[in-house]
Amino acid sequence: MTTLYVSHPSGLDHHTGGLAERPERLLAIEEGLAGPEFARLRRELAPRGTVETLLLVHAPEYIEHVMAVAPREGFYRLTDTMVMSPGTLEAAMHGVGGVTFCVDEVMSGRARNALLATRPNGHHVKYDASGGGGMFNKAAIAARHAQVAHGADRVAILDFDAHHGDGAQDIFWGDPDVMACSTHEMPLYPGTGKARERGVHGQIVNVPLKAGDGGEAFLAAWRDIILPRVVEFRPDLIVIAAGFDAHSEDRLSHLELQDEDYAAVTRSIMAVADKICGGRIVSEVEGGYRLEPLARSVRAHALALMGIHSDLVNHS
């Protein structure tokens, strides 16, 4: 088994009218994964998702509204931070199909783990409302699909984007079988994610960080607080909402992370997954808006998923 990488060119047709979440992000990710060290990476195109899959985590009225307002020309501003173009809905549906395909491959044992890179993002999307630059919550869909299609008893969503993973928290607030964990800068959009926000069953884990905390505090939050809780929860699958906008070169936040911090947190999550769920991980790319650090960070994350230490590659 190897690591599966899933994407789709329709993501290049989602235009946002000049917002930071732009098509060039996908091109940067592809460039970051183009080296010879990725020869063993299994690459597949994301299939198109279905409305039935969306209904796993989103309100029917919300889905109907999004599809009704999808523009045939020009732009439609779904929210202040989510702009739709004629290619947006198709791109989003391939994101949905891509993340369920990743789950299918990992849960069936055909892939060791999987990485999805599609647009638009999704971790701010709630049950019945868009958020951030997203339209459908791919991490939440992955969790519920694993339960419905593969009989997973419990799933953990681990979000290390610079911004709080409020979408999964909203969707699974009262669900004892889905854990949602997030590190994030505070104060920062969307303003949620305080440590006292714990969910109905205590299965929500938030560790807010402050500007300038850096990699040491970030990694300690995962090592000492979140991952021990994940071990106790014993999920059958781990879903990562992998945001890279906490990087020191990405000025939408101020957590000052470096490339190696993303590799390190990935290795820590993998060690836990190996211990409790057969190594089953599905990771999907969220934030990261400066192209060069995004490419490097995704590269470090992917190498870790493949079991390759980036330092060995960098110095070879």
235: left (phi over 0), alpha (psi -120 to 50) or beta: beta
Q: Under a CB-based contact definition with an 8 Å cutoff, are residues 33 and 302 in contact?
A: yes
Alpha carbon of 91 to those of 5, 11, 48, 70, 307: distances in Å? 17, 5, 9, 12, 30
DSSP 253: -
Q: Which residues are registered as beta bridge partners of 281?
A: 113, 238
Active site residues: 124
Q: At 87, list the tokens.
A: 């290619």
**Contact of 268 with 160, CB cutoff 8 Å:** no
Helix (H, G, I), strand (E, B) or coil at 108: coil
Using alpha carbons, select from 230, 234, 252, 232 the residue that is nearest to residue 243. Answer: 252
What three-state secondary structure class fits 201? coil
C-alpha 153/C-alpha 150 separation (Å) is: 9
